[in-house]
Structure 1
C-alpha cells in the first residue's frame, strides 16, 4: 500500500490476510480475473465523505505512482 501524503489517500494493489500474506483481491478474482490480472489492478473506492474536487488530485497521484512502478519494473 502506498500513501499519498498530500492527499491523505492510500492506493492498494493487494490485500493482506490475517497471516500477513499478500493475495489478490477476492472481488477481482470473483469477477473472473487471473491472479496476474488482479495483482495488476489498482482498486479505487469512494466514500460518503469524498468530494468531487478530490478525484482529479487522486487520479494525478495514481498516474505518478503507476509511472514510478513501471519505471521500477522496466515496463
Structure 2
C-alpha cells in the first residue's frame, strides 16, 4: 500500500488541464465505486492513491489518480 501524498482539504492542481481544486476524499488505491467513467487502467496506476477532488470551475467532484495532481 502506498502512502497518500495529499490529504482532505489540500489544494491541488490537475497536471495536464491546469484546473485547481480541493481534495474531498482519499482512497489508498483505485476504487471503482467512486469512478463514474469506469476506467480500465494499468495495474500500477490502480494501486496508487486516488482522490475525489472538487474542482474550482466544475459543479461536481472528479476522481483522479495521484499522478494527475500537483500541490498548488
Q: TM-score, normalised on structure 2? A: 0.29
Structure with greater proportional strand content: 2
Q: TM-score, normalised on structure 1? A: 0.28
Structure with greater proportional helix content: 1
